[in-house]
Amino acid sequence: MQRSKELIEQGHIWTFPGGIHPPERKYAAAEPIRELPLPERFILPLRQHIGEPADILVKPGDTVLKGQALTNSKQHGQLPVHAPSSGVVSSIGPARVAHPSGLADTCIIIEPDGDDRWGERQAYADYRNHDHATLLNHIQQSGIAGLGGAGFPTAQKLALQKPLDYLILNGVECEPYICADDRLMREYAAEIISGAEILMYLADIPKTLVAVEDNKPEAIKVLTEALQDHATITLRVVPTRYPSGGEKQLIQLLTGREVPSRGLPIDIGLVMQNVATAFAVKRAIIDGEPLLQRVVTATGEALQQPGNYWVRLGTPVAHLLNQAGFQAEPQQRVIMGGPMMGFALPDLTVPVVKITNCILAPSSRELPDAEPEMPCIRCGACADACPASLLPQQLYWHAKAKEFDELEQQNLFDCIECGACAYVCPSAIPLVHYYRKAKAEIRNIAREKAQAEVARERFEARQQRLEREQQERLERHRKAAEARKQSQAEAAKTTGKDPQDAVKAALARAKARRAKQQAQSSSDDDS
Amino acid sequence: MTFRIAPAPHTKPARSTGQVMRLVCYALIPGALAHYVIFGPGIIIQLLLATITAVATEFLFTQARRRTSHNTLADYSAVVTAVLLALSIPSLAPWWIIVIGTVFSIGIVKHLYGGIGQNIFNPAMAGYVVLLVSFPLQMTSWPLPAELSNFSVSFYDATQLIFSGYTADGYNVQQLKAGVDGISMATPLDTLKTGLSQQLTTPEITNNPIFSGIAGVGWQLLNAAFLLGGLALIATRVISWHIPVGLMLGLAVPALIGSAIAPDQSIGLFMHLFGGATMLGAFFIATDPVSAATSNRGRLYFGLLIGFLVYVIRTWGGYPDGVAFAVLLANMCVPIIDKYSQPTVYGHKGSSS
């Protein structure tokens, strides 16, 4: 560990297995980030992060100000959303959101009034005079989630109390086409660095490594200059290879450490944040701005002005694309995210959310349609490309045969779904698709098993309760009978009469009556 | 307007299966040319026969299995099997040899197991072994390399020999095999094997014109040509180096030990590597991805096993060459190799699983 730390300090760059070199096509990085005019309406899904939606604070017809919280996060796992501009809440209800399933989720619809009037803002420019809890709560209430793609609430990540060696600031952005972080680093390096300082203060981290891929020379230049007088924040340039920006891969590159399976970076003394998240933290703490907008790369040959835009959260994709000069071809594909991990949108009403880093509208020339899926020839190109050292083809065979035990044995859940395997597959098999499906099925089985377990426990508890109740009833009856016997015995003692005599007399009377009846009925038969 | 939905990644494969198989065919061109130079124009007819038979068999079996034959034929895997089989058999063998072999390779070994990707055994080698055990005479009747032969076999002669068994002048393959001294000669490996079994020493046996050079006239050139094509396959990343290197190591190490212990009773390193089917086997046959091991470490083990088995068969077995049998035996071991050669997955270092 000590030796490895020395190597980290020396700036050693480790390597990771596999990886691919797809065409980079980051041509949208040429232009500075542009502002986007306000759309006609904002569609704000309540859930834009990993966790539960927060409670709604507004109702249709309410007037809201820019930056006003629309939902209120009270519980762990909730994260609020804010009004991206001033306007009126026109409705609240289900609308299609950015999810591969194309399903609807609850959204707050806001029609902006065009004034873009700010509400009350709370800043902590002197953050070193405030305690961690206050600042973490502020970050939480500012709605900040990891902007790199996962959308994990940032304050929750920082609140995990464990000793940390390094904060890693991820500016690698390894997926083709996407250059939102690249532009942000070029234009806002100082603010990103202040964000990193706040993060270091909040989680008591002594040092920060800022990682950038070597295909971004301008960002590297700007950061090198900006970091000249920072002793605790250093720049690390990593070779361009997809998926070097994956959390686990970047950790391996910078520290040689591996996040244990099913563990977190924090288990090995590291925490990673995206550069855009650091920027958002700076804006929230220093300027009092909640997370209202982000940089989105709008790119692809179907756009006349590809570039990066400041896009307010909730802006429909159609609005962004129209501003970028969208000219759809027949059978156009529009992808949210990059070509490797993004998903195709069913329509363009879906809004840009916190984790949207790219909208890609490719021509069929630059990204041709996938070829029909062919049988696997076990060539092993996928295994050579896998950054997690999995055997993708074995996973594929087992996924196809629904051999879930085998899949877990082959560590399906260590797959990061980067798509490198599917990219190199000569048989055009959508491998990641198979893995996602198998993972979902395994999770379903586990959930059903857990439910069955709960049901069994409840059933057993009920059985026990019934049995206990029966025992108690019997006991009660027994006691009652005993008490009765005792009282009868006592009565007999006091009156000198056996209470059984009365019973015997009653039996004799009944017998006589029956005999009489019988005699009568037999005489009726005779007649 | 509706937009088209497709799963990620939204890209086209850099290299399709069809392209991979075509590259394998191109890499076999040096070997085929060497074959032509050494053993005459018979190879052209064999290649044509094998390819036509393979495509026809592939078509019929995909039809029978109710699959789309277009995709299956477009992957060129049947052509690769056919070409490998054609290059493995004596170039003047009767036409029905290659036809039976190809039908067996494609129909039985490949399609009855479920088509491409599903076969346990290497189709070309399974076909070859069936031919070798069924028709040993035809399958061991290699013509003499051109520079040792009294006869030059024209394209017309080759056609006559393959389809009728005799040239226009009435010679058959056995007669054409007669060398300069009029004695019928087998392949260098075969000659060595027979000689050693007759208690002759290696220097005595190799004192024969067919053994000039490092591994026998003709055969050394043929192996060098396959080596060249194989290196091209590694350079273009169609195959990884693990299987060829494993195979050659698995063969070379026992060969060196054998030569050190008993130089007069062993075949010798260069004879092992550049005689017989070693290079064709190492770069083109053992590397068939479908029937080989999966991980790189597994591939190395797989190659080592084949190389060792080739040495064992050549030294103590009943056949002069052993590549085909070694490959089939190793094919059977693939599941167990795969089980014990899984790479350590990210995040599992130090844990027992």
Calculate mean pLDDT across residues A367-378.
85
In a domain, A114, yes or no: no
Flag whether pLDDT at B313 surpasses 70: yes
pLDDT (0 to 100) of residue A280:
96
Contact A333 B117 (CB under 8 A): no
Residues on chain B touching A414 (C-beta within 8 angstroms) = 345-348
Sheet of A307-312, strands arranged across: A34-35, A307-312, A293-299, A358-360, A335-336, A343-344
Q: In this complex, which of B5, B13, B338 lies closest to A425 when CB atoms are compared?
A: B13
A256 touches chain B (CB under 8 A): no
pLDDT at site B353: 39
Do the Cβ atoms of A258 and B349 come within 8 Å? Answer: yes
Residue B116 touches partner A, C-beta closer than 8 Å: yes
pLDDT at B66: 86
A270-274 and A293-299 beta bridge pairing: unpaired
Q: Please identify, among A253, A288, A323, the residue that sits at the C-terminal boundary of a domain.
A: A288
Overall average pLDDT of the A240-257 stretch: 94
Q: Nearest-CA residue of chain A relative to B294? A: A380
Q: For residue B142, name the pLDDT band (cuts at 50, 70, 90).
A: confident
pTM (predicted TM-score): 0.84
Give me the residue from B8, B289, B290 closest to A342, CB to CB: B8
**Taking all residues of chain B, what is their mean pLDDT, rounded to a whole number?**
87
Banded model confidence at residue B127, pLDDT cuts 50, 70, 90? very high
Q: Which of B351, B239, B226 is nearest to B293 (CA)?
A: B239
User: For position A267, which CATH number holds?
Assistant: 3.40.50.11540
Residue pLDDT, tens place only, B86-99: 999 998 899 999 99
Render pLDDT for A27-68 as a digit per residue (tens, 0 to 9): 999 999 999 999 999 999 999 988 888 999 999 999 999 999
Tell me what pLDDT residue B352 has. 41
Amino acid at A139: I
Q: Are residues A415 and A268 in the same domain?
A: no
Find, in chain B, the residue whose alpha carbon is nearest to that of A20.
B14
Chain A residues whose beta carbon lies within 8 Å of the beta carbon of residue B123: none
Half-sphere exposure of A351 (CA within 13 A, CB side): 31
* pLDDT for residue A526: 54
C-alpha span between B30 and B287 (Å, rounded): 18
| Residue A379 sits in the same domain as residue A265 | no
Predicted complex ipTM: 0.84
* Mean pLDDT for the stretch of residues B30-35: 95
Please give the share of chain A, as a percent, with pLDDT higher than 90.
Answer: 75
- β-pairing, A207-213 with A233-238? parallel
Residue spans of the domains in chain B: they are: 15-147+149-184, 185-337
Q: What percent of chain B has pLDDT over 90?
A: 50
**Which of A267, A288, A309 represents a domain boundary (last residue)?**
A288
C-alpha distances (whole Å) from A110 to each of A115, A193, A318, A323 are 13, 33, 16, 20
Q: Does A335 map to a domain? A: no
The CA-CA-CA angle for residues A432, A438, A442, to 5°, reads 145
What CA–CA distance (Å, rounded) separates A263 from A368? 38
Q: Which residues constitute the domain of residue A21?
A: 1-30+134-288
Give the residue from A51, A428, A357, A4 showing the smallest Cα distance to A175: A357
Instruction: List pLDDT tens digits, range A490-523.
Output: 887 777 666 677 788 888 888 989 888 888 776 6
Q: Is A421 annotated as a binding residue?
A: yes
pLDDT digits (tens, 9 = 90+) for A93-139: 999 988 877 788 999 999 999 999 999 999 999 999 999 999 999 99
- Please name the member of A332, A388, A391 whose beta carbon is closest to the beta carbon of B342: A391
The predicted-structure confidence for B146-205, as pLDDT tens digits, reads as follows 777 766 778 888 888 888 888 777 777 777 666 555 555 677 888 888 888 888 888 777
Q: Which of residues 395-414 of A touch B (CB under 8 A)?
A: 409-411, 414
- Distance from the Cα of B20 to chain A's closest Cα (Å) equals 8
Q: Is residue A442 within 8 Å of A480, Cβ to Cβ?
A: no
A109 vs A94: CA distance, rounded Å = 10
Q: Tell me which residues of chain A, numbers 223 to 252, contact chain B at a CB-CB cutoff of 8 Å.
A: 248, 252
- Reply yes or no on whether the pLDDT at B112 is more than 60: yes
Name the domain count of chain A. 2
Q: Does B345 touch chain A (CB under 8 A)?
A: yes
Query: Residue A348: inside a domain, yes or no?
Result: no
Pairing mode, strands A34-35 and A52-53? unpaired
Average pLDDT taken over every residue of chain A:
91
Q: Which of B166, B147, B146 is nearest to B158 (CA)?
A: B166
Average pLDDT over residues A205-212: 95
Task: Return phi, psi of residue A399, to 5°.
Answer: -65, -40
| B292 vs A contacts (CB less than 8 Å) | 378
Q: How many CB pairs under 8 A join A and B?
A: 168
Residues 138-167 of A with CB under 8 A from B: none
Tell me the nearest-neighbour CA distance from A88 into chain B, angstroms.
Answer: 29
Residues A143 and A259 in one domain: yes
